[in-house]
């Protein structure tokens, strides 16, 4: 297993009620799902840190249930991460393919989150 990435122009919480409980999931609007290994995600975070991007900006929620994740927190992290990445020259993204993909999502106005 690896990291699950949900990305889209908007993200929303959806819930399904069963007889016993409620299942809450964050779903993309005009986006999709992407999978990456934990090592790939960590390599991107580490690489970005090496060029000046604060690791705390990444919307990574390992071990947190979707019901506990606030969409406003995802939005704030993505906005801050986008601003930090836009301050870098385009050639900075050549060093990591996953970071380049993240920048493509953010540049096109998408938000994303990384979960398990």
Alpha carbon distance 67, 48 (integer Å) = 29
What is the pLDDT tens value at each position of the chain, 116 positions in all?
699 999 999 999 999 888 888 899 999 999 999 999 999 999 999 999 999 999 999 999 999 999 999 999 999 999 999 999 999 988 888 879 999 999 999 999 999 999 99
Is residue 54 within 8 A of residue 84, CB to CB? The reply is: yes
- What local confidence, expressed as pLDDT, does residue 72 receive? 98
Tokens of 83: 């601003």
pLDDT value for 18? 84
pTM above 0.85, yes or no: yes
Exposed e or buried b per residue across 43-65, where buried means at least 16 C-beta atoms within 10 angstroms of its C-beta: bbbebbeeeebeeebbbbbeeee
Rounded to the nearest 10°, the torsion over CA 28, 30, 49, 56 is -40
């Amino acid at each position: 297993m690896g990291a699950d990435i949900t990305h889209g122009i908007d993200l929303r919480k959806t819930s399904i009620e069963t007889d016993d409980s409620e299942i809450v999931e964050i779903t993309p609007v005009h986006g999709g799902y992407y999978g990456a290994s934990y090592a790939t995600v960590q390599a991107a975070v580490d690489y970005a840190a090496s060029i000046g991007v604060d690791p705390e900006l990444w919307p990574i929620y390992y071990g947190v249930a979707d019901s506990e994740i606030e969409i406003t927190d995802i939005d704030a992290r993505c906005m801050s991460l986008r601003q930090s990445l836009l301050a870098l020259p385009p050639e900075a993204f050549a060093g990591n393919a996953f970071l380049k993909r993240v920048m493509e999502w953010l540049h096109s106005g998408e938000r994303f989150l990384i979960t398990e």
